[in-house]
Amino acid sequence: MYTNPYELYKQQDLDTCNKQELVGKLYNEGSVSLKRAIAAIHQKKFDVANENIKKAEVIVSTLKKSLDMQFEISHQLCQIYNYMLKRMVEGNMKKDVTILEEISGMLSDFRDVWSEAIKRSKKLQSI
């Protein structure tokens, strides 16, 4: 079980959020994991960098697997996720912070767009 109160809080937060909130949290955690990897590379802690990049890869893979492929946007997102995964592998192999910054930025942008879409959806539902 969790001994760290922060880890317990994070798990409870994930357990109680809805699907829309979860997607936003995944985008955020993927971006944060890559930022941690970048910091670890600067500190020459390559094992920590690898661990965080792998975490971001799992997150993007999870997002990809959750796509409903009956929609055109899902096919487009699938291509973007494939690109992200390819670049993260490359960034991990080369320990290239520029590549990791690119993908972290993309995930942050997706998080922001997703958050805005959820807000607008809620606003429309209240009308």
Q: What is the pLDDT of residue 20?
A: 85
Q: Domain for residue 77, yes or no?
A: yes
Answer left, alpha or beta for residue 87, where phi above 0 means left and psi between -120 and 50 means alpha.
alpha
Query: Can you tell me the mean pLDDT for 56-66?
Result: 97
Q: Domain for residue 62, yes or no?
A: yes
Give residue 99's pLDDT band: very low, low, confident or very high (50, 70, 90).
Answer: very high
Q: Domain for residue 31, yes or no?
A: yes
User: Minimal CA–CA distance to 36: which of 55, 22, 19?
Assistant: 55
Q: What is the pLDDT of residue 46?
A: 98
| CA dihedral for 84, 75, 66, 107, sign (positive or negative) | positive
Q: What is the pLDDT of residue 9?
A: 53
Q: What is the token pair recorded at 40? A: 């670890």
pLDDT at residue 17 is higher than 90? no
pLDDT at residue 16 is higher than 90? no
Give 25 or 19, the one with higher predicted confidence.
Answer: 25
Q: In the chain, how many domains are there?
A: 1
What is the chain's alpha carbon radius of gyration, rounded to the nearest angstrom? 16
Residue 116 belongs to what domain range? 21-121
